[in-house]
């Protein structure tokens, strides 16, 4: 049996040769799956901007379903959905709630603590409190590997092995 090509976007595999791969990569199904994958990671402000430019889909509003689905050139968002999306964008723009602001504050705090040398108990409790103030944008990402998940509020439930350090 020959080599097989696996497409992550489409979640399918086929015999790997130039004809099959070219046919798949230029196919409509592959383009739709690839667009859906990248749309999943789009910024909410970009989605809001696109949806505000579109007119509402009459068929979707009347029947609750549209034959074109995600490929429809009209908006499938209700006014309530638009309101929630706009609120999400506004919440994200609030000062002090931005991921970049949080990262810069965290880096400044760590460099200041590193320059001081020994840490006091008070500093440790302040750091734990500030570390738990993680922006909601970071917590909304699903399927994070365990190494990137924030620690639980009560701390990790494991014993420290003294042999390691």
pLDDT one-digit tens code per residue, 65-121: 999 887 889 998 888 888 988 888 887 666 555 677 777 887 888 888 777 654 444
When pLDDT is averaged across residues 154-159 and rounded to a whole number, the result is 69
* 67 & 102 share domain: yes
Task: Say if CB 57 and CB 72 are below 8 A apart.
Answer: yes
pLDDT one-digit tens code per residue, 24-70: 999 999 998 998 888 888 888 888 888 889 999 999 888 889 998 87
Confidence of residue 22 (pLDDT cuts 50, 70, 90): very high
> Does some domain include residue 72?
yes
Q: pTM here?
A: 0.46
What lies within 8 Å, CB to CB, of 30 at 6+ separation is 7, 9, 10, 24
Q: Residue 165 has what pLDDT?
A: 47
> Does some domain include residue 139?
no
Q: Does 135 score more than 90 pLDDT?
A: no
* 32 & 9 share domain: yes
> Does some domain include residue 74?
yes
> Does some domain include residue 21?
yes
> Does some domain include residue 140?
no
Identify the domain containing residue 92 by its residue range: 44-110
* 2 & 25 share domain: yes
The Cα 152–Cα 34 span in angstroms is 35
Task: Say if CB 33 and CB 8 are below 8 A apart.
Answer: no
Q: Does 146 score more than 80 pLDDT?
A: no
Give the count of domains, the chain.
Answer: 2
């Amino acid at each position: 049996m020959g080599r097989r090509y696996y497409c992550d976007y489409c979640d399918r595999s086929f015999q790997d040769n130039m004809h099959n791969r070219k046919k798949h990569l230029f196919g409509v199904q592959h383009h739709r799956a690839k667009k859906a994958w990248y749309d999943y990671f789009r910024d909410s402000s970009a989605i809001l901007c696109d949806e505000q430019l579109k007119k509402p889909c009459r068929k979707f509003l009347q029947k609750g379903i549209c034959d074109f689905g995600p490929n429809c050139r009209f908006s499938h968002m209700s006014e309530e959905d638009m309101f929630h999306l706009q609120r999400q964008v506004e919440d994200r723009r609030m000062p002090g709630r931005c991921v970049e602001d949080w990262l810069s504050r965290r880096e400044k705090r760590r460099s200041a603590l590193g320059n001081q040398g020994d840490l006091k108990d008070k500093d440790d409790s302040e750091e734990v409190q500030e570390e738990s103030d993680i922006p909601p944008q970071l917590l909304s990402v699903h399927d994070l590997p365990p190494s990137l998940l924030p620690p639980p509020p009560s701390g990790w439930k494991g014993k420290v092995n003294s042999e390691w350090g």
